Structure 1
Amino acid sequence: MKNAAQSVQVSTEKHRPRVVILGAGFAGLTVAMRLACQPVEIVIIDRHNYHLFQPLLYQVATAALSPADIAAPIRGILGHFDNIQVLLDTVTNIDRDRCQIQTLSDRRIDYDYLVIATGATHNYFGRDEWHELAPGLKRIEDATELRRRILLAFERAEIEENPARRQALMTFVIVGGGPTGVEMAGAMAELTRFTLARNFRRIQPENARIILADANERLLRPFPEALSEKARRSLERMGVEMKLGTRVDHLDRHGVRMEQDKIATETVIWSAGVKASPAADWLGVDSNAAGQVAVEADLQLPGDDRIYLVGDVCQHINPDQQPTPGLAPAAKQQGKHVARDLIARIRGRRRPGAFVYKGRGQLATIGRHSAICNFGQVRVTGYAGWWLWGAAHIYFLIGFRNRVVVAANWFWSYLTFGRGIRLITGDVAVKPDASSAGNPGRSTLDQSR
């Protein structure tokens, strides 16, 4: 009876078909907003109460932006639509025979149509125990934890007596040479060379060692080779070391090993790949190595025309045999297509047919004055590319307030080289290593008492 009662709570208008959307990312939110004025009942389920602009998480991690600048409450975005209900819950299973969603709070939610847009998480390629040692950047919690580790490393280095350990504290390894890794490396270089340069007395943050490692021979593989090479040269001019064509085969709290190269560090940032949410397990279907579920040309689950999969969770192949990339614009395009298809089905109109991804371009920023933008025959780099990259990201942000705040923060940082969100949260106890040379266990702070 408990499940039945909870099912009634999310079932209001039985004469309208119910569309349940799992995930309020770019794809899920687009579907919901496109269906908001249609004769349907919409239930959107997410385990967070906010929509997150993931492409700028690295700026939270490097103290340029606050989490609130790149996130917006889901209820604030959708709350004024009468036919949308938002549930804060976690999906545990999908009963396809009964057309029901099962959640962690023991709800059973009926659906007429189901849109799965639950995104992806970090992929450690079978070494999930590395998650605690090398956080990725998929959640606000990841970004704030990385910010804490990065800033705390410099605080610990300031009072460390052992030169080797001080150098390890000021060494940062970024694993993965995709857009996130490249942008993180550039932001780290700026943070150390400009923002923190005059903040310490015993260490020189500008001498911090920043290493970008990737198993591939070049950065930013989806970009043309010439732009990848330009990105590499730009990062090297900023002082970032490259470890390309080498794979991380060991990682612990004291460092990483890449084949025969051992690097002492206490801060490792993971951006080497993503793995789809467990939608395949919920549905009882096969998935590829990245956990993605293969879909039909119209984004439906093969053999079940009530279920759509969009965004990072689906494996979609375009007519030119190229896969749809896991990018925010691609997710939004898929969301629009699913909404059009659902509207056509509900209203008895002609359906739009196959989804075809239309690539608008590729963008990645390298640093303060440099970015690379690829629009096919047109390529924009350097200072102009940086402005174009910034304008595009502000455009995709949800909410007028976020756009204004991010633009203002970037403008202020541009003028002052400052990053104002340098907050260390959580456990901030700064203790020297007991193995410190000279006087074990005693720091400059101890000696000055």
Structure 2
Amino acid sequence: MPRHRVVIVGAGFAGLKLANDLKGGSVDITIIDRRNHHLFQPLLYQVATTVLATSEIAWPIRSLYRNRPEVTTLLGEVVGVDLSEHTVSLRDGQGISYDTLVLATGARHAYFGHDEWEKVAPGLKTLEDATTIRRRVLLAFEKAEMEPDPERRKALLTFMVVGGGATGVELAGMIAELAHRALYREFRHIDTRTAKILLVEAGPRILPVFTPELSEYGRQALEKLGVDVRTGKSVTNCSAEGVKIGDEFIASQTLIWAAGVRASKAAVWLGVEADRAGRVVVRSDLTVPEMPDVFVIGDTASVVSENGRPVPGIAPAAKQQGAYVAKVIARRLAGAEPPRPFVYHHQGNLATIGRRAAVVEFGRLKLKGSIAWWIWGLAHIFFLIGTRSRIAVAASWLWVFLRGQHSARLITQRETIQDMDS
């Protein structure tokens, strides 16, 4: 009897959790991803802000499954799904057959109808995004060191982060640490401590998923680091010269977007209903309506909790969905009753602010400050893959904590100082 073929598109948290939980079953698994690595996204901002190296938060997918002969890894880009033929179409023309298809293709940043802003205000979802932001931040300081014009130098030393969620807060805090504590002794013609870091949030407060008390603490902690926090303000234009917030223009050469996300084109491939963010609206068992052999999970899926609230697009939710779909598939193949509808169990919220402060919320337990920072760090180290990564990240954090020095500050991509003027 032929083995059941499960095709997983996307090697993020949801896809890998599904593949891991199907271990030992009578299935052949094919994992397709546009990149050859799995990325620990919660620490991506630390690559962008020179704390960690790329290799410390990413792992080759093939190496993760080298001892799983039933798992095949393909480096390819999916461009469509043929539902009648049960095949996934790749950009190179190949068709990959499936019995069960799981789309876990994640999301990218959204510019609310202004996609042209992406060129000047990159978001943060991939390693390429992180190294682009890191390069632009470091080159801004290098260019300012040689800039004779005071206004131009001021614009180079003004860093703008758009979006006051956890990613925006973490980015703003670490850029402030970099400018005000890590670099100031290394330049001769500028004082990096004069750099201005702005965090702009359209909503009434930053860190909106936290309680108002923790949100306010986050604001105060950022301001203590020298970050100018502006809430209730919307960005109305982004350009190479700077940002317009309402009617106010602020000259800035380094813009970072952390204000929204949009799902992959999975809904288009399937020709089904999507929500405003492009996520596929799925049933309570995470299948697509009228398509029992197609699951959509992670940031690609629009899932509603029992309380009527949408399941957040965070790593724990994605992993829970991957584990649930593994149970559904296993029970189907065993001829058993399906599990109960998917229920998301919220495990809490965490966000860090610089190198010594964080906010943590686990149900009724709410912590802030240095104790929260240690809990945040231990939680992230625990979820990293492999002893080597845990040791490397812990060592980097300890060095930053004790010495205030960021070690991953190499400018390695092709853009040069001259390119910044073009």
Question: Is TM-score (shorter-chain normalized) higher than 0.5?
Answer: yes
Question: 1:432 Cα shift?
Answer: 11
- Cα deviation code 1:131-178 (max 9, x no counterpart): 110001101011101111001000110111110000000000000000
Higher mean C-alpha displacement, 282-291 vs 166-175:
282-291
Residue in 1 that maps onto 2:217: 230
Q: Aligned Cα RMSD in Å?
A: 1.3
Give structure 1 stretches of 5+ with no counterpart: 1-13, 435-449
Question: 1:428 Cα shift?
Answer: 5.4
Residue in 2 that maps onto 1:59: 46
Q: Does 1:111 align with 2:98?
A: yes
Residue in 1 that maps onto 2:317: 330
Q: Does 1:275 align with 2:262?
A: yes
What is the one-letter code of the residue matched to 1:207?
T
Preserved contact between residue 371 and residue 381 of structure 1 (Cα < 8 Å)? yes
Choose which of 342, 350, 356 in structure 2 pairs with 1:355. Answer: 342
Residue in 2 that maps onto 1:211: 198
Question: 1:286 Cα shift?
Answer: 2.1
Question: 1:42 Cα shift?
Answer: 0.5
Residue in 2 that maps onto 1:48: 35
Q: Does 1:430 align with 2:417?
A: yes
Preserved contact between residue 355 and residue 400 of structure 2 (Cα < 8 Å)? no
What is the one-letter code of the residue matched to 1:410?
W
- Cα deviation code 1:386-412 (max 9, x no counterpart): 000001111111222111110111111
SS of the residue corresponding to residue 364 of structure 1 reads: strand
Residue in 1 that maps onto 2:147: 160
What is the one-letter code of the residue matched to 1:279?
A
Preserved contact between residue 35 and residue 343 of structure 1 (Cα < 8 Å)? yes
Residue in 1 that maps onto 2:109: 122
Preserved contact between residue 37 and residue 61 of structure 2 (Cα < 8 Å)? yes
Preserved contact between residue 382 and residue 390 of structure 2 (Cα < 8 Å)? yes
Q: Does 1:96 align with 2:103?
A: no
Q: How many residue pairs are counted as aligned between the two chains?
A: 421
Q: Does 1:379 align with 2:366?
A: yes
What is the one-letter code of the residue matched to 2:200?
A
Q: Write the mapping of 1:121-140 to structure 2, written as runs, cut at 5 A.
A: 121-140=108-127
Q: Write the mapping of 1:229-378 to structure 2, written as runs, cut at 5 A.
A: 229-378=216-365
Preserved contact between residue 301 and residue 308 of structure 1 (Cα < 8 Å)? yes
> What is the TM-score with the length of structure 2 in the denominator?
0.98
SS of the residue corresponding to residue 119 of structure 2 reads: coil
Residue in 1 that maps onto 2:74: 87
Work out the CA distance in 1 between the residues paired with 2:20 and 2:308: 30
Choose which of 347, 355, 375 in structure 2 pairs with 1:388. Answer: 375
Work out the CA distance in 1 between the residues paired with 2:124 and 2:167: 8
Give structure 2 stretches of 5+ with no counterpart: none
Work out the CA distance in 1 between the residues paired with 2:415 and 2:210: 40
Work out the CA distance in 2 between the residues paired with 1:118 and 1:433: 33
Residue in 2 that maps onto 1:194: 181
Work out the CA distance in 2 between the residues paired with 1:97 and 1:317: 28
SS of the residue corresponding to residue 76 of structure 1 reads: helix
Preserved contact between residue 356 and residue 401 of structure 2 (Cα < 8 Å)? no
SS of the residue corresponding to residue 323 of structure 1 reads: coil
Structure 1 runs of 4+ aligned residues shifted over 3 Å read 427-434
- Cα deviation code 1:105-155 (max 9, x no counterpart): 211111110111000001011111111100011010111011110010001
